[in-house]
Amino acid sequence: MRFDYVTVGHVTIDVLEDARVGPSATAEPSATTGAATTADAGGGRRQPGGGAFYSALQAARLGLRTLILTRGVPEELEALLEPYRAELQVEIDAAERTTTLYTQGRGHARRQRLLAWAGRFGESIAVDTAILHLAPIARETPSSWRGHAELVGLTPQGLVRTWDEHGDVTRTALQSEQLPAHCDAIVFSAGERESCAELIPGSTPDAVVAVTAGALPTTILPAGGAPLEVMPPTIAGPHDDLGAGDVFAAAFFVALHEGLAPAAAAAYGNAAAAVRIAGVGPDAIGDRRAIAARL
């Protein structure tokens, strides 16, 4: 079935800081090869998360026929995504666990622990889409796929994450073998820039790169062009920025695919992120009218 936008990555259970989290136990031995942790996360606020979810929901609200390819426990993910099933489609590769993150704080002060990991995708993913968005959260996405995609976008945050035996998440340098065979557009944050040096133009000469920086200008590194800066809208009293970078990425990729120049696409992405930040949770993700108003 032909789609307009397909995301590949773990949809997560986000356990927010008002939850009680018990002691973790190592489920796999090596953080460098993808260790997983499990924990008894007690009562508290939970919601769907992960770049694959936030980006797909933004694409769907832009009117695109959208599919998420994810891994986890089917019953858990189906229940978690039930409020959004009218907007997007989901295919779940069954796993013993659903990737679960315990999140404290926001913005630069955000800290996360990996409580459970759904494991890696196989290398046999088939797609038929206008836009393919590889959105790893914890080193799970494959480096190749089969089928058709007109624009391939990457948000590599999950490729530069590692975690210790307690599940505490830190950043590490991106490894070239983790990268997809081809990429047209890449989005990462200024805080990830050092880890993502492998993606700066020259290493990825055919891709346009956007480096987001919260309220500071977004830097665009066009393929073969000079760097550009695009100022995001001013937001009075932002509420919740979880997923804002993923919302930016989806709007940016869609705008590029629709023919906008990189700077204009970044302005559109910034407006989409501003709409998201002005509200709380996934329901704050806006449609084309709301984003146009922020522009």
Region 46-68 average pLDDT: 97
* pLDDT tens string 100-123: 998 775 655 667 889 999 999 987
Number of domains in the chain: 1
- What H or E segment, with its residue span, contains residue 206? none
Q: Pick 172 or 264 by higher pLDDT.
A: 264
pLDDT of residue 51: 96
Average pLDDT, the chain: 86
Residue-range definition of the domain harbouring residue 68: 3-23+37-281
Q: Does 53 reside within a domain?
A: yes
| CA-angle at 113, arms to 41 and 142, nearest 5° | 110
pLDDT of 23 strictly over 80: no
- The least confident of 51-55, 80-84, 191-195 is 191-195
Residue with tokens 């622990």: 113
pLDDT of 190 strictly over 50: yes
Q: Does 247 reside within a domain?
A: yes
Q: Look up the CATH number of the domain holding residue 248.
A: 3.40.1190.20
- d(C-alpha 52, C-alpha 83), whole Å: 16
Q: Does 222 reside within a domain?
A: yes
Q: Pick 80 or 17 by higher pLDDT.
A: 80
pTM for the full predicted model: 0.89
pLDDT of residue 43: 47
